[in-house]
Amino acid sequence: MASIKQFIERRNNISAIVAHVREKGYATRMEISSALGLSWACVSELTSLLMDEGVLQEFSSRGEGTVSESRGRTPTCIRLCDDKYFLGVDINDSGIAISILRLDGKAIRSQKWESEKFDSCDGLSESVCEKIEGMLSDKKNCLGIGVAMEGIFSTDGWLYPFESGVAPYRPEPDIEARFGIPVSARHDPECMLYAAAGDLSCDCMALRVDNGIGVAAMRGGRVLDLPLELGFVKKDGVALRHILRECKK
């Protein structure tokens, strides 16, 4: 049974391979192995896995031709599948936004809806799923749905301001049950950090200023566990967001 360390290393290797192919446009297995310092066996195994999952595709010549299973002296090239995509959903009390993103990170289509008031988690989930339904025209090519949530994360979910008061909400179960697509929810500043960092080995921080002030930090390529809103932090009885806004004047 693989250890947690091995799982993390395997996940990081997969991320590095996808990031390298995205940056270069295409690459041979040998080029990937040399650039990332990974063994040929590791690259071969993980690229095969990514091709099976529909993330990568193989071409018989560099950036040209059709997908080929040919083997021989001429090395085949790997690139991102151009018909696959991810769905990005941003849920916060100022509104809901959804974007369709190609594997190279470019947005195909985006739409935003103004904020609504919900009585319960069921009402919020139904609204989110209806909006996803309208954007998800080709479900079989959607590899996953990423959800950005604002607010503080408790053991039961993200604290969301419903009409009856703040209550924990988890978007993943209802969305997965409705569409049968893997769903991952993260704190919204973390989503911004992943998008902006580029080099996942760097140390950086991202702030999102809305009704609160969300913060995320990355050290050595790992996002630190900081699922909080600085807007709820107080100094001498004054909310930090008010202090920062005063400093901007």
Kindly report, residue by residue over 173-211, the tens digit of the pLDDT: 999 999 999 999 987 777 666 666 555 556 666 666 565
How far is the C-alpha of 60 from the C-alpha of 74, rounded, in Å?
8
pLDDT category of residue 80 using cuts at 50, 70 and 90: very high
How far is the C-alpha of 131 from the C-alpha of 146, rounded, in Å?
14
DSSP 229: B
Kindly report, residue by residue over 9-35, the tens digit of the pLDDT: 888 899 889 989 988 999 999 999 999
Mean pLDDT for the stretch of residues 154-168 = 88
Q: What 3-state class would DSSP assign to 60?
A: strand
How far CA 173 is from CA of 63, 170, 181, 227, in Å, comes to: 39, 7, 10, 20
- Is residue 49 over pLDDT 60? yes
DSSP 74: S
Averaged pLDDT of the chain: 80
Give me the pLDDT at residue 138, please: 83
**Higher-scoring residue by pLDDT: 205, 7:** 7
Give the residue carrying structure tokens 């936004």.
97
Give me the pLDDT at residue 88, please: 94
- This prediction's pTM: 0.72
pLDDT category of residue 171 using cuts at 50, 70 and 90: very high
Q: What 3-state class would DSSP assign to 112?
A: strand
- 124, 160 Cβ separation under 8 angstroms: yes
DSSP 69: -
- Cα torsion through 126, 133, 84, 36, rounded to 10: -20
- Is residue 233 over pLDDT 80? no
- Is residue 66 over pLDDT 60? no
- Is residue 151 over pLDDT 70? yes
DSSP 156-176: TEEEEEETTEEEEE--HHHHH
Give me the pLDDT at residue 150, please: 81
Give me the pLDDT at residue 10, please: 87
Q: What are phi and psi of 58, to 5 degrees?
A: -110, 140
Highest mean predicted confidence (pLDDT) among 44-53, 211-220, 234-243? 44-53
Angle between helices 4-24 and 40-52 (to 10 degrees): 80
Helices (H), the chain: 4-24, 29-36, 40-52, 121-135, 172-179, 188-197, 240-248
